[in-house]
Structure 1
């Protein structure tokens, strides 16, 4: 008979602890704090070909105009 009482008390304690944990934001609780998103790893900067670089093309055009006075 004592074993049955101890078993019922143990189950009641487990239930109360689980309810308290879920109310405090434990796993599955509604009061969880949002996690910060992980920063994405930065892609390595690929070298840009000169004919794809707008700054290079502007400089090339500026030099061409300065050299002979007419566009290339």
Structure 2
């Protein structure tokens, strides 16, 4: 009986240590990844507007 309690205690401590110091949780990002300029919709929109402006100025 004593060995069973010791095994349960050891497993409990191992699980607690794993959760504290172990691998990151699956599905929960630890930090937000940086958005590269070519992936940023706002940047792409501004580039599109800048490329359209000179054409509009030449026509009108």
TM bin (shorter chain): 0.3 to 0.5
Larger Rg: 1
TM-score by length of 2: 0.45
Higher helix share: 2
TM-score by length of 1: 0.40
